[in-house]
Every structure is written in structure tokens, then in C-alpha cells.
């Protein structure tokens, strides 16, 4: 990074509005940004804060109803807002490239990778096809894709999600742009794949000298990729600064609120629970007077914060470009509230509720190709679950962790009775359920095992009212039969999930994502379940909403002593809320144990890689870097020996390829499935190192 | 309906709210110009059908004065033949007015029957999949592979021409098409989490299909129903024209065209006015469908 060079991009007092039938909607207000050559800028904020609008404005690609109201965007000395459409076309793709969230939507499925890559230099430069081909090949190896020759001849569907995103990044870099915009480039990818992409993004500016703007809702990812960060709230920047200054000494109450919402390694569900920001993001046309954040701020002062708009100010005694939009930042002492919300009591664990022993689930796939007919292999087996063993007790939270395709959803389906197992048994409250379909279960059995679903926009039926949907569950399970009593029960459930009672009459489309998820929780708890399966219940929600929903789920759990089976791929959330963790990969349990066991050596090599892949938004936490090579193997053709052998960084030899690893007992209920001797695994260094409280920077400064 | 106090009352009458919602979505239609024209045309014919006894100047089946041109005075009984009379001397205006009753009773009934069968088949095929889907889809393919007209002639020729039989024939011929639409929508909707939620609380298959899935498919189905209503009106007209419609002498627009088509060169009014009646009604339903689609795409 060269500080003296002229900036690549300067946005000055930018105001962007959308014009709709309802009138003008100011999406971004008073946005200023300077990007120097080779610098990576992070823009972080919750959905609806205007971060994607900024990216679109820089591309000058606002759609029919968007427009820049005032301010300027200067790219290398030229004001982009004044350029004609054809001048813009020569800049887009050549000098400013953009990478979108979903790689499979950014590539044309009917064209070969080579056609799509070569198109970029051919369109923008006057070069021959051979040269374009050379450049494309070179770029594919620069983004660490194996076998560029084969990649060039492939169609997008033949590549995995991570490979596709690498191709998209290669395409963006091909014309050697000065500025690369990345809009949530890893959201659609698995954690271990995400780690690889994040490392690539971080290397780009070193390798190519490209400036980048990285948009994300994940503070941890921003920390790992960026030099400077902008925190946006409701269309305006509330705080900006270098990674070090902003992450170590955040000044704005909103930035603080965000940090209190994410499960950092210092958070603990009992001693230091998450502290959700109260209230909701205001709609663009309902923004309050003065500071937009004041209705949700704990440090609000009447007659100061709610009067008029104010500019960003430089933070005294901090780095040169640390600025904040808060009038009271000097008076607020954030240290007093550092350990998050109020401490809560831990639940006492009770009797065993769930016992899974040797459960297997195989699917049969009929192959109707001619080749299969001749070979006599018409039916192939997909082993979705292989020998699952674990137990859960009353009041306990057990997390099942694994990437997509590891078989965690199949297991949930067997538990819920939507599928029956192939072998083995699952006992819930002592009763065998793995071979009983939901239709054959008693109402009591069904109501005692319920589920919270992943997608808040899909979990409620849009055609029926909230009250009707919850009432149906109560009626179906026979909790109450009298109409009046059912109604009262719905009301008390709405109180439990902290929603207003008149939501009874609302339709799902009138609710926000977080509210819908709360109704989903109310529905699951309507029949007083002894166990609830939560399938990534907060992964689609914004951080502050996710924190509130997580806390709500745990409060209800505490009250009802429910066993929670938490399915997730996000280890930071899992570490925060679960007592025990089951790590799955390709249908196998590779490691299981208490949360402390899993997060400390000895690790299974896959657990080690998963831990390393989790982005942590704390600059003082150090992580050992392990990036997995290759892709998840197909469940149709799993490796013969250890399921993880194709990607393992600690592979010891042929034994891994040929033999299924044994279960090694570390202590009671902590088991690792690996060929490497336990003694050797014990010598591995911890992946995540959290500094002691006394060693922390901000503590020193305080004294 | 919004109650903000914490002592929320139990809902007593849901019908009032439902009616209000229906009126609101109708108010939305006012924003679509095309939809408004369609509604006006359809409403016009509905009113004509309802008030037929008061609107028709003469008895539609009595022979009064043959070959009268439009606007001719009725000599024997008094009054004017505004649209003329046919070759047997029946007043064309009266026949069109009464004929609208036939069309507006049989077309919606036939469409409703076709939809009931098509929806049930489509839901079963899409939701259950497997052999149920295979069998139902193949049956649909076989029916759809016949030219529609041939199919109608075979059916009506076999079971005879009557109002009920027209409904049966139309149901048989158009339910496979509806089934395909419903099946496609079901295939998408059955993977939603709310369907999984219903399954995991042990709801019966039919309840899942009819209560959880079907209401969410209503948007495209309502639009399709309006279009299909238009086609059914054409079909009824065509059947009448082919002599396979309602048995005479009751007035039937298709039949009127058929009876007078040989005289169309000399007396164009005898065929022209029934044709205009048919086309305006079909146009009305098609425009209404366009309007509904426009609104459904908007939000």
C-alpha cells in the first residue's frame, strides 16, 4: 500500500435515493469514502443499511428508479456521475469489477468457462484470442484453481460452489481492474470453502495491487480481509477507522451493540450472554430526527441526540482516520458494560432424553442408464448417515456441526419421522422412534419432539393468519380443546416469544424475518415439547436480530428444561450456546464431546480445520491457519477408508485411504474417529488462542 | 381489525373481515386499465343475464315476423325488433339476452367442475409423486394428445347432447391441462418449510394438500381460471355451432350462428349479433385475466 499515491476512488457527500410510488426513499445519506491504491475497505452493516446501494452507485448501475441526488463519485480523477453510458461501459468490467453473492447466478450455465473468461480481455483490449487464452489460464492458476486446462473446458455446473466463486473472482481480475467490489462473496458457501476464498481475497491486493471494497454483514470476515472499515446504520456511516482502532476501541454505541450481538470467544451463555440491540431498524421514510440510532441507544440524551443531523468527527487520541458520528462518544464509558448482558443461571441437566445407537440411513438411487443396466448395478446406495451414536439429556443443548451434505438434515428427518432409518435405533424418552413414521406416532409423541426451521420466510404459511397457524398446532396435539382456552394459550405463547398480542390477526407477510422466526419458535413450543430440533434457526437473520432470537430460544429452554438439538455450520454460535458438540462429515460422526473438549486439543483434523475457518471479530484473538484443499466428495462415491482422507492435512498414509478409522476414547463421552494415535493428536497446538483478560489492550489503557 | 390493547378479544366473525379483504383486492383492480375494461364487459353480461325477463322485449322462442331487418317495427304485437329477427321470425335481441343465461350458467359450472377434478389430480400427482404421478400424468398425456374438437364430438356423440353432458365433456377435456399447472405449482410448494412443519405434526395428506399447499397456488390459478372461462365459452359456442350444444328451441349463441349461417350473405344481422355477443364476453374474461396478472406481478 502506498499512502502517497493519488486515491483510486473518492466518494464525497454522496446521497442516493430510490423513487417509488410511495415517494422518494433516501437509501444512503452523506456518504464519504476514499480508497487508496492497493487498499481493502470493508463496509459492514445489517440488511437495509444501504451497503449494496453504495456498490451499485459506484458501478453507476442503479436501475430505473434509483438516482444519485447529490455528491460526487470520482474514479481516478473522473466524475462517474457525469459520464455517458458508453464511457461507463468502458470502465465497468475493465477498471471496476464486481463480484456478487451467488457464484452460480453470476456465471452463464450454457457457456464454457473459457468463453466467459476470454470474453473479458477481448471486449476491453485489442488482443488476439491466443493471448486472451493465455491470460485466462494464468489467472485461473493465480486464484489457486487446480488443473486450469480442464477448468477452461468445463461448464459452470461441473464445478463446485467454491470453484465457481474463484472463477468469478478470476473473471473480475482478468482485465486488471483498479477497483474490485465484492458484495458478500462468501455468504452462499460452506465455512471451509469460505476460509479459502477469504484467504484469496486477502492476497489479491498484495499480488495484483488491486483496491477492494468488501461488503459483508460479518464483522469477523471484515477483520480478516480489510485494512479499513466503515460501519453503516440506516443509510449512513456511523463509524469508520482502521481495523485495529475500530475493533479494539469502537466508539459508536451501534458498533458496540453489534459486538455485543456476536458470539465472540469471550461470550458465555450463562455468565456473559449476548446483548441484543433493542428495537428495530427504522424504515427509510420513518427515520427519526437527529441521530438515526437514538431510539435504540442506551446513551440517548434528550435535547442533544434528537435535534439535528451532525457530521462525522475525528476521534481524539486515536488513529488519524478514526471518525465517529456521535455527539457523546467522549462521555460514554464502554468498559463498564463489556461482559455483555446480565448473567443467567445455568440449567441443571436431567435424565437422558435421546439415545441414538448405531443409527444408519441409506437412500437407494435407481440408476437407469444403459451402462448401469449392463453392469448389473441398477440400484446404488447413498449412505446419508453411517453409524450415529450419541445421547442428549434433559435441558442439554447438543449441536450437530457440519458442512452441507454431511447428513445432518437427514438425521433430523429421521428424528421427526419424515424418514425411517435403515438400521440401528433412536430412543426418545425410552421409546424407539427411528422406524416409526410420523403418521404412526401418537399425538403426545409428536408434540414432545418439535422443530424450528431454518428459513424464516418459508416457515409460516403465507395464506393463513398467525393465530390460525398456532391454534392448529394446539388443537392437533390436543393440548386444549375448548376454543376459548386455545385462544388464551396462543396469547400466552405470543407473550412468551415477546411479540404483541394483536399479531394473532396478522398474516406472515406483515412480519419481519426475526418476528417470523419467533412465531416459528412459538409454534414449536405450543405442545410443550421435551425436545426441540433447531435447524440453523438464526443463520438467515441479521446479527442483532439473531442475537435476540438466540437469547429467546435459550430463555424458553431454561424455563421449560427442553433438550435442544441445534443443527448448524457456524462454530462460533455453536460454541456459545451448546453443551455438547457432534461433528459430522459425509454421514459419519468424526468427533463428539463437550464444547470444551471440542475446542481444545486433541482435535480431529477436520474439527481443527473447521475451527480455523471460523471468522472471529476480535483482533486480539490469534488463530492457526489451516486451509483445506479440494472439495467435499460426493455422497454417491464416498472414499473407501476415512471419509475425510481426500482433504485431510494430517493424512498419514494408505491406512487412511483403505480402512475406516477406529473410535478412540479420549475421556468419557469424548470420542475421535481417526487413525492418528491419540498421543500424537494431544500434541497438536490449540487453533484459537484467546488472550487472558489481563493481557488485553483496552484493559491496559483503562488503568 | 387492529387491536392494540393487551386484552385482545377472541375473533368472533371472520366473514366480515374476509368480505372486506375481497373488496380491497377488487379496489386494486381499479389501478389496471385493462382489468377495468374486462370487469365492465363481464359485469355487463352478468347483469343482462340476471335481468333477462325484463330486458328481453319479446318471447325468445315465439315466431313473430320472419326476416325482419334491425330496427323494423313489429306489425302484429307492437314494438321494435332492434336487432331484427331470424328466418323463423324470432327476435334476435331477446334470444341473445336469454342466451346469455345459458352461457353464464354452463361456462362457469363446467370450469368449476374441470378445476375440481384438475386440482385434485394435480395435487395428488405433485405431492405424492412416484407411481401416482406416473399414472395420472400418463392419463393426462393421452387425453391431451387428442385434438380437442374430435374429443368433444366423440364424447357428445356417445352420451348425447344435453347441458350436463356438455359439462362432462368440458371437464374431461380441460382438466388434464389444469392438472399440469397444479402439479407444477405443487412440486415447488411441497418443499417449503411450512409444509414440512405440517408433516412433522402428523397432518393427513389431504389436509396438507388442501390447506397448506392449495391456498398458496391460488394466484396463478385465478388468472388461469379467467382465461379458461373464455375458452369454455368458445367451446360452448363451437358445440352449439356443430349442433352438439343444447337441444333447440332454447336460445344458445352458438346454435343461433349455426341455424342462420346459410343466410349470412343475405341477412348478416342474423349471425353477426350473436357473434359479437360471444366475442365481447370472451374478450371481457381475457382482459380481466390480464388485469389480474398485472396486479399479481406488481406486489
Q: Is the pLDDT of residue A380 over 70?
A: yes
Residues in chain A: 703
All three cell numbers of A644: 475425510
A477 touches chain B (CB under 8 A): yes
For residue A479, give every residue at least 6 positions away whose Cβ sits within 8 Å of its Cβ, in sequence order, or none: A447, A489, A526, A527, A528
| pLDDT tens digits along A31-43 | 999 999 989 999 9
In order of B52, B100, B144, B270, B273, the CA distances from B93 in angstroms are: 11, 11, 38, 10, 8
Question: pLDDT-based confidence at A1, cuts 50/70/90?
Answer: very low
All three cell numbers of B98: 336469454
Q: Tell me whether residues A418 and B201 touch, CB distance under 8 A.
A: no
Q: Tell me whether residues A523 and B203 touch, CB distance under 8 A.
A: no
A423 DSSP β-pair partners: A360
Residues in chain B: 299
CA gap B214, A328 in Å, rounded: 55
All three cell numbers of B185: 405449482
CA gap A291, A299 in Å, rounded: 12
Question: pLDDT-based confidence at A213, cuts 50/70/90?
Answer: very high
All three cell numbers of A449: 419432539
Query: Which candidate from A453, A477, A491 shows the least CB-CB separation from B196?
Result: A453
| pLDDT tens digits along A475-487 | 988 888 888 999 9
User: How many angstroms away from the CA of A528 is the closest CA of chain B?
Assistant: 13
CA gap B95, B86 in Å, rounded: 10
C-alpha torsion angle, residues B132, B133, B134, B137 (rounded to 10): 120
Residue carrying C-alpha cell 462454530: A571
Interface test with A, best of B1, B193, B210, B213 (most A CBs within 10 A): B193
How many CB atoms neighbour CB A202 within 10 A? 15
For residue B188, give every residue at least 6 positions away whose Cβ sits within 8 Å of its Cβ, in sequence order, or none: none
Q: What is the pTM of this model?
A: 0.84
Q: Which residue of B has its CA nearest to A458?
A: B193
| pLDDT tens digits along B209-253 | 999 999 999 888 988 998 898 889 888 888 888 888 777 767 788
Q: Where are the alpha helices (DSSP H) in A526-604?
A: 543-560, 571-577, 595-599
A487 touches chain B (CB under 8 A): yes
Question: pLDDT-based confidence at A23, cuts 50/70/90?
Answer: confident
Q: Where are the alpha helices (DSSP H) in A209-302?
A: 219-225, 243-248, 253-261
The per-residue DSSP string of B77-107 comes to T-SEETT-B-TT--BHHHHHHHHHHHHHHHH
Q: What angle do CA B223, B228, B234 make, to 5 degrees?
A: 145
| pLDDT tens digits along A215-227 | 998 888 899 889 9
Residue carrying C-alpha cell 412443519: B197
Q: Looking at beta carbons, which residues of chain B come within 8 Å of A438?
A: 199-202
Over its C-alpha atoms, chain B yields an Rg (Å, rounded) of 23
Over its C-alpha atoms, chain A yields an Rg (Å, rounded) of 27
Q: Tell me whether residues B11 and A473 touch, CB distance under 8 A.
A: no
All three cell numbers of B88: 323463423
Q: Tell me whether residues B3 and A417 touch, CB distance under 8 A.
A: no
Work out the percent of chain A whose per-residue pLDDT is above 70: 96
- pLDDT value of position B6: 43
Interface test with A, best of B196, B205, B214, B299 (most A CBs within 10 A): B196
What end-to-end distance do the CA atoms of chain B give, in Å?
22
Q: Looking at beta carbons, which residues of chain A come within 8 Å of B215?
A: 461, 463-464
CA gap B199, A439 in Å, rounded: 9
Q: Looking at beta carbons, which residues of chain B come within 8 Å of A418?
A: 196, 199-200
CA gap A468, A472 in Å, rounded: 6
Q: In this structure, what are the phi and psi dihedrals at residue A49, rounded to the nearest 5 degrees?
A: -90, -5
Q: Which residue of A has its CA nearest to B7?
A: A501
Residue carrying C-alpha cell 480489510: A226
Q: Looking at beta carbons, which residues of chain B come within 8 Å of A502?
A: 2-4, 8
Q: Tell me whether residues B216 and A461 touch, CB distance under 8 A.
A: yes
CA gap A362, A421 in Å, rounded: 8
Whether the Cβ atoms of residue A265 and residue A575 lie closer than 8 Å to each other: yes
- pLDDT value of position A282: 83
Q: Which residue of A has its CA nearest to B10?
A: A487
Q: What angle do CA A242, A243, A249 make, to 5 degrees?
A: 90
User: How many angstroms away from the CA of A487 is the closest CA of chain B?
Assistant: 7
Whether the Cβ atoms of residue A521 and residue A553 lie closer than 8 Å to each other: yes
Question: pLDDT-based confidence at A700, cuts 50/70/90?
Answer: very low
Question: pLDDT-based confidence at B136, cuts 50/70/90?
Answer: very high
Q: Looking at beta carbons, which residues of chain B come within 8 Å of A451?
A: 196-197, 200
Q: Tell me whether residues A458 and B4 touch, CB distance under 8 A.
A: no
Helix (H, G, I), strand (E, B) or coil at B31: coil
User: How many angstroms away from the CA of A495 is the closest CA of chain B?
Assistant: 10
Helix (H, G, I), strand (E, B) or coil at A581: strand
| pLDDT tens digits along A511-533 | 888 899 999 999 999 888 999 99
Q: Is the pLDDT of residue B110 over 90?
A: yes
Q: Tell me whether residues B4 and A502 touch, CB distance under 8 A.
A: yes
Q: Tell me whether residues A464 and B215 touch, CB distance under 8 A.
A: yes
Whether the Cβ atoms of residue B260 and residue B267 lie closer than 8 Å to each other: yes
CA gap A534, A574 in Å, rounded: 12
A123 touches chain B (CB under 8 A): no
Q: Tell me whether residues A483 and B1 touch, CB distance under 8 A.
A: no
Amino acid at each position: 500500500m502506498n499512502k502517497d499515491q493519488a486515491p483510486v476512488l473518492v466518494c464525497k457527500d454522496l446521497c442516493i435515493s430510490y423513487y417509488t410510488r410511495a415517494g422518494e426513499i433516501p437509501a444512503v445519506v452523506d456518504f464519504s469514502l476514499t480508497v487508496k491504491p492497493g487498499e481493502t475497505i470493508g463496509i459492514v452493516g445489517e440488511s437495509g443499511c444501504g451497503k449494496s446501494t453504495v456498490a451499485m452507485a459506484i458501478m453507476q448501475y442503479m436501475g430505473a428508479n434509483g438516482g444519485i441526488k447529490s455528491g460526487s463519485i470520482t474514479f481516478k480523477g473522473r466524475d462517474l456521475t457525469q459520464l455517458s453510458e458508453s464511457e461507463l461501459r468502458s470502465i465497468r468490467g475493465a477498471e471496476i469489477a464486481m463480484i456478487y453473492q451467488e457464484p452460480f447466478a453470476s456465471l452463464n450455465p450454457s457457456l464454457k468457462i473459457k468463453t466467459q473468461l476470454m470474453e473479458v480481455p477481448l471486449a476491453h483490449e485489442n488482443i488476439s484470442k491466443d493471448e486472451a487464452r493465455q491470460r485466462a489460464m494464468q489467472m485461473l492458476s493465480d486464484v489457486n484453481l487446480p488443473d486450469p486446462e480442464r477448468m477452461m473446458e468445463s461448464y459452470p455446473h461441473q464445478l463446485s460452489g467454491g470453484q465457481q466463486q474463484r472463477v468469478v473472482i478470476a473473471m473480475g481480475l482478468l482485465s486488471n481492474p483498479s477497483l474490485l467490489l465484492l458484495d458478500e462473496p462468501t455468504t452462499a458457501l460452506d465455512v471451509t470453502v469460505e476460509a479459502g476464498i477469504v484467504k484469496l481475497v486477502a492476497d489479491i491486493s498484495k499480488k495484483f495491487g488491486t483496491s477492494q471494497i468488501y461488503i459483508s454483514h460479518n464483522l469477523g470476515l471484515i477483520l480478516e480481509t480489510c485494512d479499513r472499515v466503515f460501519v453503516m446504520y440506516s443509510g449512513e456511516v456511523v463509524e469508520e477507522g482502521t481495523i485495529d482502532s475500530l475493533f479494539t476501541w469502537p466508539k459508536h454505541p451501534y458498533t458496540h451493540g453489534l459486538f455485543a450481538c456476536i458470539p465472540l470467544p469471550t461470550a458465555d451463555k450463562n455468565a456473559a450472554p449476548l446483548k441484543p440491540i433493542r428495537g428495530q431498524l427504522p424504515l427509510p421514510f420513518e427515520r427519526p430526527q437527529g441521530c438515526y440510532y437514538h431510539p435504540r441507544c442506551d446513551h440517548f440524551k434528550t435535547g442533544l441526540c434528537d435535534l439535528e443531523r451532525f457530521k462525522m468527527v475525528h476521534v481524539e487520541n486515536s488513529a488519524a482516520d478514526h471518525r465517529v458520528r456521535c455527539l457523546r462518544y467522549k462521555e460514554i464509558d464502554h468498559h463498564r458494560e463489556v461482559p455483555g448482558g446480565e448473567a443467567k443461571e445455568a440449567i441443571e441437566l436431567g435424565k437422558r432424553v435421546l439415545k441414538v445407537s448405531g443409527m444408519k440411513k441409506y437412500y437407494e438411487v435407481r440408476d437407469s442408464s444403459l451402462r448401469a443396466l449392463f453392469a448389473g448395478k441398477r440400484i446404488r446406495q447413498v449412505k446419508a448417515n453411517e453409524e450415529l451414536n450419541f445421547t442428549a439429556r434433559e435441558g442439554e443443548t447438543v449441536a450437530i456441526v457440519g458442512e452441507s451434505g454431511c447428513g445432518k438434515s437427514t438425521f433430523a428427518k429421521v428424528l421427526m419421522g419424515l424418514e425411517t432409518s435403515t438400521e440401528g435405533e433412536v430412543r426418545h424418552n425410552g421409546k424407539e422412534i427411528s422406524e416409526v413414521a410420523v403418521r404412526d406416532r401418537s399425538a403426545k409423541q409428536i408434540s414432545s419432539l418439535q422443530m424450528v426451521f431454518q428459513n424464516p420466510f418459508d416457515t409460516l404459511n403465507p395464506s393463513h393468519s398467525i393465530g390460525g397457524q398456532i391454534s392448529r398446532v394446539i388443537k392437533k396435539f390436543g393440548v386444549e380443546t375448548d376454543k376459548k382456552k386455545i385462544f388464551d394459550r396462543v396469547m400466552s405463547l405470543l407473550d412468551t416469544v415477546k411479540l404483541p398480542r394483536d399479531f394473532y390477526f396478522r398474516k406472515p407477510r406483515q412480519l419481519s424475518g426475526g418476528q417470523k422466526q419467533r412465531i416459528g419458535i412459538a409454534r414449536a413450543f405450543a405442545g410443550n415439547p421435551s425436545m426441540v430440533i433447531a435447524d440453523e434457526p438464526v443463520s438467515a437473520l441479521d446479527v442483532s436480530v439473531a442475537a435476540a432470537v438466540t437469547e429467546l430460544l435459550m430463555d424458553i429452554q431454561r424455563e421449560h428444561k427442553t433438550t435442544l438439538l441445534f443443527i448448524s455450520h457456524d462454530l462460533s454460535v455453536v460454541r456459545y450456546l451448546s453443551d455438547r458438540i457432534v461433528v459430522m462429515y459425509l454421514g459419519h460422526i468424526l468427533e463428539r464431546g463437550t464444547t470444551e473438549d471440542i475446542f481444545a486439543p486433541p482435535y480431529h483434523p477436520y474439527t481443527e480445520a473447521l475451527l480455523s475457518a471460523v471468522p472471529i471479530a476480535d483482533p486480539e484473538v490469534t488463530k492457526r491457519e489451516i486451509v483445506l484443499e479440494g472439495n467435499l466428495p460426493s455422497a454417491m462415491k464416498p472414499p473407501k477408508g476415512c471419509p475425510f482422507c481426500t482433504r485431510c492435512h494430517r493424512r498419514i498414509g494408505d491406512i487412511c485411504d483403505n480402512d475406516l478409522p477406529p473410535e478412540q476414547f479420549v475421556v468419557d463421552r469424548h470420542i475421535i474417529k481417526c487413525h492418528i494415535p491419540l498421543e500424537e493428536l494431544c500434541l497438536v497446538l490449540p487453533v484459537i488462542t484467546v488472550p487472558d483478560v489481563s493481557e488485553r489492550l483496552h484493559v491496559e489503557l483503562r488503568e | 381489525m387492529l387491536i392494540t390493547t393487551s386484552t385482545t378479544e377472541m375473533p368472533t366473525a371472520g366473514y366480515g373481515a374476509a368480505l372486506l379483504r375481497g373488496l380491497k383486492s377488487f379496489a386494486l383492480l381499479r389501478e389496471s386499465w385493462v382489468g377495468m375494461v374486462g370487469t365492465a364487459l363481464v359485469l355487463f353480461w352478468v347483469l343482462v343475464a340476471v335481468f333477462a325477463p325484463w330486458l328481453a322485449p319479446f318471447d325468445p322462442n315465439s315466431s313473430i315476423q320472419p326476416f325482419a331487418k334491425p330496427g323494423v317495427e313489429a306489425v302484429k304485437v307492437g314494438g321494435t325488433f332492434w336487432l331484427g329477427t331470424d328466418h323463423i321470425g324470432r327476435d334476435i335481441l331477446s334470444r341473445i339476452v336469454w342466451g346469455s343465461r345459458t352461457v353464464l350458467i354452463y361456462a362457469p359450472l363446467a370450469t368449476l367442475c374441470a378445476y375440481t377434478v384438475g386440482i385434485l389430480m394435480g395435487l395428488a400427482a405433485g405431492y405424492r409423486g412416484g407411481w401416482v404421478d406416473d399414472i395420472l400424468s400418463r392419463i393426462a398425456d393421452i387425453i391431451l394428445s387428442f385434438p380437442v374438437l374430435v374429443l368433444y364430438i366423440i364424447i357428445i356423440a356417445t352420451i348425447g347432447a344435453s347441458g350436463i353432458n356438455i359439462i362432462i365433456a368440458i371437464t374431461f377435456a380441460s382438466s388434464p391441462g389444469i392438472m399440469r399447472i397444479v402439479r407444477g405449482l405443487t412440486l415447488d410448494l411441497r418443499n417449503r418449510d411450512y409444509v414440512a412443519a405440517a408433516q412433522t405434526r402428523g397432518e393427513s395428506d389431504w389436509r396438507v394438500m388442501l390447506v397448506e399447499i392449495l391456498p398458496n397456488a391460488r394466484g396463478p390459478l385465478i388468472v388461469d381460471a379467467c382465461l379458461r372461462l373464455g375458452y369454455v365459452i368458445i367451446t360452448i359456442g363451437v358445440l352449439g355451432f356443430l349442433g352438439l350444444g343444447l337441444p333447440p328451441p332454447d336460445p344458445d349463441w352458438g346454435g343461433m350462428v349455426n341455424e342462420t349461417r346459410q343466410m349470412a350473405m343475405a341477412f348478416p344481422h342474423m349471425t353477426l349479433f350473436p357473434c359479437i355477443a360471444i366475442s365481447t364476453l370472451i374478450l371481457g374474461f381475457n382482459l380481466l385475466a390480464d388485469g389480474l396478472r398485472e396486479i399479481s406481478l406488481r406486489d
